[in-house]
Amino acid sequence: MNLSELSFTELQELHAKVVTAIEQQQAAEKADAKKQILELVKLHGLSLDDVLSKATAAVRKPVEAKYKNPNDESQTWTGRGRKPVWVQALLDEGFSLEDLAI
């Protein structure tokens, strides 16, 4: 099929047919995937709650701060990632990280 030979109206009709075909194929594939998932759940003796539950995910506990700003104790830093601006400013003033340690 040479698309350049089709009129604008014919191209629009073709576009509508393609969109419909895509939607139908997508719906069919989703239904098939759902069927496969349910079969796997049943095969392994799981419930859908078991599969969809986030309770099994590891919960990270917050990292404790290792450094604090002596001028503003509400500013703390764990020592991970980029140095906060206040840490770099104090280091530039001559403080060491040991001076800022909690």
pLDDT in tens, 28-70: 999 999 999 999 999 999 988 888 876 655 678 889 999 999 9
pTM above 0.75, yes or no: no
State the pLDDT at residue 53: 76
Is residue 91 within 8 Å of residue 97, measured between CB atoms? Answer: yes
Is residue 75 within 8 Å of residue 65, measured between CB atoms? Answer: no
Residue with tokens 């280091």: 91
Tokens at 8, concatenated: 């604008």
Residue with tokens 């840490």: 87
State the pLDDT at residue 93: 93
State the pLDDT at residue 48: 80
Alpha-carbon distance 74 to 31, whole Å?
Answer: 54
State the pLDDT at residue 56: 57
